[in-house]
Chains A and B, each alone.
Chain A
Amino acid sequence: MLQKKVCMLGSFSVGKSSLVRRFVESMFDEQYHTTIGVKVDKKVVHANGEDLTLVLWDIYGEDVFQKMRLSYLRGMHGYLLVVDGTRRQTLDDALELNERVVAAIGKVPAVLALNKYDLTDQWEIEPAQEAQLAAAGWTLEHTSAKTGDAVENAFSHLAQAMLAK
């Protein structure tokens, strides 16, 4: 079976781990996150008529105290950039992070997950801005780890993009 290294990127507490926890096979304890800053999980998706193993490197969210280890991104085939749609700041941070990633690794397939979409009343991202992001070439997904909406879609879109490459 084809395998791809996929990283989960995004700021602290945007819900990366929640997405992973609900939708992937897990083997390791959450505490790997806090000790070495990454937790490795696995998800098998079906895309373009074939099964694909995604080895997910769920990388500890960046905050003011801890910068992300870019070395964990080496060799990745794609990534899911996760944003908390109820906190506008996390989108800006994510785009800033994305620039650093592209500078370090080069361009690889990515999907932008606007998470916590179940909290519509607190949503802070304007439709105009979303249109702007789509125009810039982003594949957008409105995900919710709580309800499970669009999470599978986010992973399979990423898988398709990686296979197409």
Chain B
Amino acid sequence: MAEQAQRRAFEAQAQEKPTDNNHAYEELRHLIVAPEQEGIASIQDRLENLEKRTEDVSVVVAEAIQMRRAKGDDLALAAALAPTIQETLRESVRRDPHVLADALFPVMGPAIRKSIAETLRGMLESFNEALEHSLSWRGIKWRIEAFRTGKPFAEIVLMHSLLYRVEQVFLIHRETGLVLNHVVAPSAPAQDADMVAGLLSAIQQFARDSFQPGKTENLGNMTFDELQIRVVSGPNAVIAAAIRGHAPEAYNLAMNETLEEIQRHYSSALARFAGDPGPFRAAESQIARLLETQYREKPPEMRRPRAAMIAGAIAAVLLLGWIGYSTYLLIEWSRFLSAMRKQPGIVVVSYTKDGRTFHIQGFRDPLSEDPKKLIAQAGLDPDHADLQLAPYYSLDDAIVARRAAALLHPPTGVTFTANDGELIPEGAASQNWIAQLEEKAPWIAGVSRVDESHLQNSNLQELNALKNTLESTALLFPLGRAELEVGQENNLTQTEKNIRELVAQAGSLHQAVSIELVGHTDITGVEAANLALSRQRADQIRAALLRNGVRSASLLPRGVGTSQPLRDEGTEEGRRLNRSVTFKITVSPLPAAGTVTGASGAAPLN
């Protein structure tokens, strides 16, 4: 304004003082620059005039926005306008809510209806599932689980029926059916995504053409047994998810949100798509979220019941174990009792069980097995047995034999058995012990007689052994002579010793001994001379024995010549043996104690 005034003042001044030169110049100048000056003045005027400027912008504002949109950069414009529009809407509602309500009415109705329909569908699905499961075996299992965990049945049904896995997610260009991006869950089976997406689009197209001609709605779900394909469609893109199991309806919401996000982000790329999936590579993270976040494991609170189940199982095992052990003990005890009843010297009259203790009543011979030891041997606890066994004399054969052994102290090698009152000792025993046995046995309880047929008299056995030794001894002589062969002295000494022992033992057994000394010759020479020689040899030995003090036996010398040869004379060795004296011994019991002494005293003197 100030400039304008200045300029006008300057022009007025110029007109007031026209000199000739000046005038001509001004005239020229006016002619040359006046139109421009006017133009500049008019532009300046328009610039400075707010009213005019506003008028100018109002003419182009719609075209400017259109041009901006045509350039494809509508996001920035939307961002710039958004706060103002929001504020405007808020202000509009504040002033008069009816204006917006009226404007939105035509779209709100269908939107609300659609939303309600979706929700009801979800509810019905869950309700159907609940109905379906309530009468099945699974349903009964879930009822038990609900009872056990104290949760509502509906919650348990939901918890189980919502288990699912999203195996693949396809981002598909709606128009062409080409794959923009594709993700597969780890270890899920995946086919060629290009072909699958193509056919999926074809099927969508087919369904649309066949059942809803003219509409643009898409098939929402396709179900094949356990596999479900859920499809959500936007104007340019489609998301299809292959789901194993039952995904909740809410999963569609996540799909829709992802699709909207992608549509917003890639709107121009989607509109311009000519087969290059490159720009959509970054959408992988968005669709992968649909894959990853929708896994649903069994909720962790399932672990608690599992712990309870384990505890229950342990308790059950323990209970079963206890019952088993008790039964085992009872069986063991009854087995033990029946074994004890068979035990000689023990009589079980009755038994009772009181808690863990067994009371056993009956009789027991002191010589029977110790019952406590039997209990321990059966693997049972002797402390759990209360034995009330009265002592008695058992007439059982085994106990009778044991009793006889206890009273008679048999020498080693002698054993007793008993059979129905008859005591049967077996083995070899001395004369003295046998005498004792005969005297004492009848006094032992349960013994009515003794069978000695299996009992050997050890003294008699020794006597017989000596007799056999002597009878196989031959004292040798040289050819034709009655003196002992050189070297036969030891033989003679041993023979003397044996005879003395024999006589002594026979004496203690009240036996009388007579010894024939039999002289032999070989066949050399005539028999009459041989007979005489053999007798001489026998006499010679008798003399030697007597000389050496063998007195207490009757020694009867006899010559048999060649009539009883010891060996065949065919060899020198045979003939040598036949030039000898041998012994023939007779042992016989003494007739009576009185006469024995006299006889034995007289015999050596014979």
Interface residues of A (CB under 8 A from B): 1-5, 25, 27-28, 32, 36-42, 53, 55, 57, 69, 71-72, 74-77, 162
Bound-state CA distance A69–B198 (Å) is 15
A69 and B177: CB pair below 8 A? no
Max chain A C-beta neighbours (<10 A), residue from B173, B195, B206:
B195
Contact among B173, B175, B202, B277 with A72 in the assembled complex (CB-CB below 8 Å): B202
14 pairs of residues in contact across A and B, judged by CB atoms under 8 Å:
A2-B275, A4-B178, A5-B176, A5-B198, A5-B275, A27-B195, A37-B206, A40-B198, A42-B194, A72-B202, A74-B175, A75-B174, A75-B177, A77-B176
A40 and B275: CB pair below 8 A? no
B202 and A3: CB pair below 8 A? no
Bound-state CA distance A42–B199 (Å) is 11
B202 and A25: CB pair below 8 A? no
> Within 8 Å of chain A (Cβ to Cβ): is B129?
no
Interface residues of B (CB under 8 A from A): 173-179, 191-192, 194-199, 202-203, 205-206, 208-209, 274-277
Max chain A C-beta neighbours (<10 A), residue from B176, B275, B276:
B275
Bound-state CA distance A76–B177 (Å) is 9
Chain A residues with CB under 8 Å of B209's CB are 69, 71
A36 and B276: CB pair below 8 A? no
Contact among B198, B203, B208 with A57 in the assembled complex (CB-CB below 8 Å): B198
B203 and A36: CB pair below 8 A? yes
Chain B residues with CB under 8 Å of A75's CB are 173-178
Query: What is the CB-to-nearest-CB distance from A93 to chain B, in angstroms, rounded to a whole number?
Result: 22
Chain A residues with CB under 8 Å of B178's CB are 3-5, 55, 75
Chain A residues with CB under 8 Å of B202's CB are 36, 38, 40, 57, 72
Bound-state CA distance A30–B152 (Å) is 51
List the 10 shortest-distance A-B pairs measured between CB atoms, nearest first: A75-B175, A75-B176, A40-B198, A40-B199, A36-B206, A5-B176, A3-B178, A38-B202, A4-B275, A55-B198
Knowing A3-B178, A36-B203, A55-B178, the reply to whether A71 touches B274 (Cβ < 8 A) is no
Told that A3-B179, A69-B206 touch, could you supply 9 new A-B pairs with CB distance under 8 A?
A2-B276, A3-B194, A3-B275, A3-B276, A25-B192, A37-B206, A41-B195, A74-B175, A75-B176
B199 and A74: CB pair below 8 A? no
Bound-state CA distance A27–B208 (Å) is 24
Query: What is the CB-to-nearest-CB distance from B401 to chain A, in angstroms, rounded to a whole number?
Result: 97
Bound-state CA distance A106–B518 (Å) is 157
A77 and B194: CB pair below 8 A? no
Max chain B C-beta neighbours (<10 A), residue from A1, A37, A55, A71:
A55
Chain A residues with CB under 8 Å of B173's CB are 75
Bound-state CA distance A138–B124 (Å) is 57
Q: A77: nearest residue on chain B (CB-CB)?
A: B275
Q: B205: nearest residue on chain A (CB-CB)?
A: A71
Chain B residues with CB under 8 Å of A1's CB are 277
Chain B residues with CB under 8 Å of A3's CB are 178-179, 194, 275-277
Bound-state CA distance A5–B177 (Å) is 8
Chain A residues with CB under 8 Å of B179's CB are 3
A40 and B206: CB pair below 8 A? no
Chain B residues with CB under 8 Å of A71's CB are 205, 208-209
A76 and B176: CB pair below 8 A? yes
B275 and A74: CB pair below 8 A? no
Q: B202: nearest residue on chain A (CB-CB)?
A: A38
Q: B203: nearest residue on chain A (CB-CB)?
A: A36
Chain A residues with CB under 8 Å of B208's CB are 71
Bound-state CA distance A25–B196 (Å) is 12
Chain A residues with CB under 8 Å of B192's CB are 25, 27, 42
Max chain A C-beta neighbours (<10 A), residue from B174, B196, B205, B276:
B205
Max chain A C-beta neighbours (<10 A), residue from B175, B178, B179, B194:
B194
Contact among B195, B205, B206, B276 with A55 in the assembled complex (CB-CB below 8 Å): B195
Chain B residues with CB under 8 Å of A57's CB are 177, 198, 202
Bound-state CA distance A37–B202 (Å) is 9
Q: A165: nearest residue on chain B (CB-CB)?
A: B274
Bound-state CA distance A64–B276 (Å) is 38
B195 and A28: CB pair below 8 A? yes
Chain B residues with CB under 8 Å of A37's CB are 206
Query: What is the CB-to-nearest-CB distance from B172 to chain A, in angstroms, rounded to a whole number?
Result: 11
A74 and B194: CB pair below 8 A? no
B199 and A32: CB pair below 8 A? yes
Bound-state CA distance A57–B176 (Å) is 10
Chain B residues with CB under 8 Å of A5's CB are 176-178, 198, 275
Chain B residues with CB under 8 Å of A72's CB are 202, 205
Query: What is the CB-to-nearest-CB distance from B152 to chain A, in angstroms, rounded to a whole number?
Result: 45
A42 and B195: CB pair below 8 A? yes
Bound-state CA distance A36–B197 (Å) is 15
Chain B residues with CB under 8 Å of A162's CB are 275
